[in-house]
Amino acid sequence: MKAVVFKEVGQPLVLEERPEPEIRADELLVRVKAVGVCGSDLHASEASWTPTDIVMGHEFSGEVAALGDQVTGWSVGDRAVPLAKLVCGECPSCRRENYSDCENSDLIGFSSNVDGAYAEYARVSAATALRLPDGVGYMDAAVVEPLAVGYSTVRKAELKMSDSVLIIGAGPIGLCVAQWCKHFGVTDIAVSELNASRLSLAEEMGANILIDGNDVDDPAAEFERIAGRAPSVIVEAVGVPGMIQRCIEIASNNARIVVVGVCFGYDRFQPMLCFEKRLQLIFAAGYRVEDFAEILKLMDQGRIVAKPLVSHRISLEELPEMFETMRKPTDQIKVIVEL
């Protein structure tokens, strides 16, 4: 099969031929139809701890091509979207069907044990795969994973309609958070962003306050100037060193800071300032099978949308060049590889 492979830190990905994955008894072989390029893949390709000679790609959907011997409830040809995690099926969490907390899991696309979906085929756990509703296409389904990260963010923030939300960063995750805030009835939703095209899209995704980070040093103060109240929730959706500390500095007393931007390096912040302001600092990575199920239902009903996030649709052969372009993005939001 064709696959795009991460060979070496800081080097372009390589298109090559690879054997099809061999599945275990409790797994599905999925013929990949659409896979999103995630910022985490870009960060991981520059990190020294990332295994080399792996296939990345964890935001994907496809068609079931083969079943493990113990798999029931699935048929070849079914349309599926999996969680980005291969689970063991044997640990206490898996026995409780709490697969998100599997103690022996492998992250698809980040592990030397399981390749990801920058390829024609991928292996997934049958227990954490969901069937696509008729109204959800493969491209939209490839955006379920970042939508689930956004959903997890507002869930862990214990978001209320009365909250006022400031989102730092209008990448795909920040934009997904904006859409969820709108969905759950929040009226004051601000997005602070440096990139003009991303900031414009934030309004379409639900933000009613747009803050150009090139011109505004303190987005929380600008939020308060416009909305007449300080943000009760600040979402850090950038993931660069120093950003958590900056959110702590601009937060008002009793605010909740939700960190969803993934910083791959070491970072420093001042806990004493959190104590003084009585802040809550929440890390929001992770999602559940039931989150995927809820999102698919809402997408099928047209109440949550993915299409506006998709800025580019490319082939697998075009991925290595696009991946390099995205190291310094211009107008890219969510790039989808279609097979």
φ/ψ region of 5 (left if φ > 0, alpha if ψ in -120 to 50, else beta) reads beta
Residues 294-333 have pLDDT tens digits of 999 999 999 999 999 999 999 999 999 999 999 887 788 9
Q: Domains along the chain?
A: 2-143+306-338 (3.90.180.10), 146-283 (3.40.50.720)
Res. 264 pLDDT band, cuts 50 70 90: confident
Q: Residue 73 CA to chain centroid, in angstroms? A: 27
Res. 7 pLDDT band, cuts 50 70 90: very high
Asked if residue 36 lies in contact with residue 137, where contact means CB atoms within 8 angstroms, the answer is no
| pTM as predicted | 0.94
* DSSP state letters, 128-147: GEEEPPTT--HHHHTTHHHH
Residues 28-56 have pLDDT tens digits of 999 999 999 998 999 899 888 899 999 99
Angstrom distance (rounded) from CA 258 to CA 335: 25
